[in-house]
């Protein structure tokens, strides 16, 4: 017998990574009563728990992905400073070119940089005990999060239950959420399940996983800033430096998290900083999820089976009206920047759910539908 939670909660959020915790928090801030569920008993058991959780701007030749990323970055660093200051380490991030070709591109990138930055040469880096002949861009507002602690902080005061959701169906005017050991009914649902997306037909979003690992090393090094090259190396905090990257194309998370993939990353980090006294303390592994076009996916979910049945000509290029599943929303596709995107994307989605405000087109899932139907021709 399902338990109808609509009397007690306005919204049910499935998934308690940084996406789920951020939308739960944003909805609570707007007076909504939220129930957060996850198959794990604690937040941040998925990709979010593995993340180095660096919060830095995007560099590149401009364009709307860079614009939205840097707007999200400005929002995120201020958000963490205000709402989770004890779990956000400021101090800045240096972006170092990956190669001499990349160094040439940095010259083209500079006019499009997030406005608060400095150009550091090899002497500036050496003064911080970082070895690189090419120098890079230093972004002083950037930093990194203690990922699980940030998720826990955002989820504080929000009701949380462990539920492995197996099936989601819409019956009458409610969603039926069938879990391993109980079934709930809720009026509104947000899906924040990371790379796993089998609860509704969301083929058109093309969300897929990329596997990565991180090692936390004990060291006496006092690295004052974080670095990004092909991998990320954090500043040192309480005698710990984090080294990590999402670097393995793999559709399934069941890879052995034994530190082996870290060996290559550690070797690369050793070219940048003195790692001679680094001792591996702990290894983390996880999947991050990326959409077809690398933008986040934030908003209503299209009723794909209904559209294909009612308007089969859509697969032959016809323009048809879109129909969304009632009160079903998604916050996903945050890529390698979950901790950058989540606070602003969550606010946009909460504004949509609570006040009906439009979500910017470039992150709304609808944009992916038209690209996907073209592939069916
Ligand atoms: C090694 C590594 C390093 C990274 N470094 C950075 C970085 O430096 N900066 C940055 O911003 N990002 C980084 N990322 C990316 C970042 O981790 C992701 O973008 C972010 O974690 C995505 O969050 P999420 O909430 O969407 O997904 P997840 O954290 O994976 O959360 C999804 C949650 O949904 C739950 N769930 C799934 N299906 C169900 C179900 N059916 N029923 C119940 N619960 C379910 C899972 O248990 C999980 O807790 C990194 C990722 C990795 C792996």
Ligand 1 in contact with 40 (CB < 6 A)?
yes
Q: What is the torsional sign of CA 76, 81, 84, 87?
A: positive
Residue 297: beta bridge partners? 332
Rg of the chain taking only CA atoms, in angstroms: 21
DSSP code of residue 237:
B
Q: Are 23 and 296 in contact (CB under 8 A)?
A: no
Ligand 1 in contact with 209 (CB < 6 A)?
no
Q: Give yes or no for residue 314 having a pLDDT over 60.
A: yes
Q: Are 157 and 43 in contact (CB under 8 A)?
A: no
Q: How far is Cα 321 from Cα 98, in angstroms, rounded to an integer?
A: 45
Report the nearest-CA residue for atom 51 of ligand 1.
51
Q: Are 205 and 198 in contact (CB under 8 A)?
A: no
| Test site for ligand 1: of 40, 44, 48, most ligand atoms within 8 A of the Cβ | 48
Among 77, 46, 85, 114, residue whose Cα is nearest residue 344: 77
Instruction: Kindly report, residue by residue over 117-143, the tens digit of the pLDDT.
Output: 999 999 999 999 999 889 999 999 999
What CATH homologous superfamily does 3-47+150-207+292-374 map to? FAD/NAD(P)-binding domain (3.50.50.60)
Ligand 1 in contact with 340 (CB < 6 A)?
yes
Residues 6 or more apart in contact with residue 232 via CB below 8 angstroms: 52, 54, 226, 242, 243, 244, 245
Report the nearest-CA residue for atom 33 of ligand 1.
15
Q: What is the mean pLDDT of residues 355-374?
A: 96
Ligand 1 in contact with 177 (CB < 6 A)?
no
Q: Give yes or no for residue 266 having a pLDDT over 70.
A: yes
pLDDT at 212: 87
Report the nearest-CA residue for atom 16 of ligand 1.
338
Q: Give yes or no for residue 260 having a pLDDT over 80.
A: no
Ligand 1 in contact with 20 (CB < 6 A)?
yes
Locate the ligand 1 atom nearest the alpha carbon of residue 286 and give its number: 53
Ligand 1 in contact with 66 (CB < 6 A)?
no
pLDDT at 247: 67
Locate the ligand 1 atom nearest the alpha carbon of residue 210 and give its number: 53
Report the nearest-CA residue for atom 35 of ligand 1.
15
* 173 to 167, 327, 355: CA distances (angstroms): 17, 9, 20
Q: How far is Cα 154 from Cα 46, in angstroms, rounded to an integer?
A: 16
Residue 55: beta bridge partners? 143
Question: For strand 93-95 and strand 226-228, is the pairing parallel, antiparallel, or unpaired?
Answer: parallel
Report the nearest-CA residue for atom 15 of ligand 1.
336
**What band does 263 get if pLDDT is binned at 50, 70 and 90?**
confident
Residues 6 or more apart in contact with residue 145 via CB below 8 angstroms: 51, 53, 55, 80, 84, 87, 88, 89, 339
Q: Which of 19-23, 62-66, 79-83, 257-261 has the lowest mean pLDDT?
A: 257-261
Q: Give yes or no for residue 252 having a pLDDT over 80.
A: no
Ligand 1 in contact with 235 (CB < 6 A)?
no
**What band does 255 get if pLDDT is binned at 50, 70 and 90?**
low
Ligand 1 in contact with 212 (CB < 6 A)?
yes
Instruction: Kindly report, residue by residue over 319-337, the tens digit of the pLDDT.
Output: 999 999 999 999 999 999 9
pLDDT at 254: 54
CB < 8 Å & 24+ apart, contacts of 180-185: 182/3, 183/1, 183/2, 183/3, 184/2, 184/3, 184/4, 184/5, 184/12, 184/35, 185/2, 185/3, 185/4, 185/5, 185/6
pTM, full prediction: 0.96
pLDDT at 261: 73
Cβ atoms within 10 Å, residue 11: 24
Locate the ligand 1 atom nearest the alpha carbon of residue 15 and give its number: 34
pLDDT at 248: 62
pLDDT at 83: 97
Locate the ligand 1 atom nearest the alpha carbon of residue 163 and give its number: 43
260: tokens are: 């082996």
In the reported structure, the alpha carbon of residue 212 is separated from the centroid of ligand 1 by a whole-number distance in angstroms of 11
Report the nearest-CA residue for atom 7 of ligand 1.
53
Residue 287: beta bridge partners? 211
To which H or E segment does residue 171 belong?
A: strand 165-171
In the reported structure, the alpha carbon of residue 312 is separated from the centroid of ligand 1 by a whole-number distance in angstroms of 35
Question: For strand 183-186 and strand 297-302, is the pairing parallel, antiparallel, or unpaired?
Answer: unpaired
In the reported structure, the alpha carbon of residue 18 is separated from the centroid of ligand 1 by a whole-number distance in angstroms of 7
Question: For strand 54-55 and strand 143-145, is the pairing parallel, antiparallel, or unpaired?
Answer: antiparallel
* 311 to 4, 146, 318, 322: CA distances (angstroms): 34, 48, 8, 10
- Report the share of the chain in percent with pLDDT over 90: 85
pLDDT at 27: 98
DSSP code of residue 286:
E
In the reported structure, the alpha carbon of residue 223 is separated from the centroid of ligand 1 by a whole-number distance in angstroms of 27
Residue 330: beta bridge partners? 191, 299
Phi-psi map region of 185: left, alpha, beta (phi>0 left; psi -120 to 50 alpha): beta
* 43 to 16, 33, 137, 158, 355: CA distances (angstroms): 5, 18, 34, 12, 27
**What band does 259 get if pLDDT is binned at 50, 70 and 90?**
low
pLDDT at 377: 80
Mean pLDDT score across all residues of the chain: 94
pLDDT at 256: 62
**What band does 200 get if pLDDT is binned at 50, 70 and 90?**
very high
CA terminus-to-terminus distance, the chain:
43
**What band does 258 get if pLDDT is binned at 50, 70 and 90?**
low
């Amino acid at each position: 017998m399902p338990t109808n939670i609509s009397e007690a909660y306005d919204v049910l959020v499935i998934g308690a990574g940084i996406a789920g915790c951020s939308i739960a928090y944003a909805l609570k801030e707007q007076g909504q009563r939220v129930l957060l569920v996850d198959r794990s008993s604690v937040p941040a058991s998925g990709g979010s728990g593995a993340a180095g959780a660096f919060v830095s701007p995007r560099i590149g030749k401009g364009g709307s992905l860079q614009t939205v990323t840097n707007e999200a970055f400005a929002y995120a660093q201020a958000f963490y400073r205000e709402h989770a200051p004890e779990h956000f380490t400021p101090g800045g991030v240096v972006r170092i070119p990956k190669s001499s070709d990349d160094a040439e591109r940095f010259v083209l990138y500079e006019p499009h940089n997030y406005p608060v930055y400095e150009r550091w040469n090899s002497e500036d880096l050496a003064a911080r005990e970082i070895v690189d002949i090419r120098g890079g861009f230093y972004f002083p507002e950037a930093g990194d999060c203690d990922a699980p602690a940030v998720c826990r902080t955002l989820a504080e005061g929000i009701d949380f239950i462990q539920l492995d959701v197996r099936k989601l169906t819409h019956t009458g005017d409610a969603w039926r959420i069938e879990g391993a050991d109980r079934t709930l009914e809720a009026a509104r649902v947000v899906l924040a399940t990371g790379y796993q997306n089998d609860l509704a037909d969301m083929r058109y979003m093309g969300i897929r996983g990329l596997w990565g690992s991180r090692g936390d090393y004990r060291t006496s090094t006092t690295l004052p800033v974080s670095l990004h090259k092909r991998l990320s190396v954090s500043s040192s905090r309480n005698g710990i430096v984090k080294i990590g990257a999402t670097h393995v194309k793999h559709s399934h998370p069941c890879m052995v998290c034994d530190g082996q993939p870290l060996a290559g990353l550690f070797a690369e980090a050793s070219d940048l900083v003195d790692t001679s006294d680094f001792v591996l303390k702990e290894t983390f592994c996880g999947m991050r999820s990326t959409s077809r076009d690398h933008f986040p996916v934030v908003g209503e979910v299209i009723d794909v089976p209904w559209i294909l049945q009612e308007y089969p000509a859509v697969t032959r290029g016809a323009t048809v009206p879109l129909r969304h599943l009632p009160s079903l929303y998604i916050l996903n596709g945050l890529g390698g920047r979950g901790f950058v995107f989540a606070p602003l994307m969550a606010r946009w989605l909460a504004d949509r759910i609570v006040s009906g405000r439009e979500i910017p087109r470039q992150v709304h899932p609808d944009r992916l539908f038209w690209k996907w139907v073209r592939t069916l021709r």
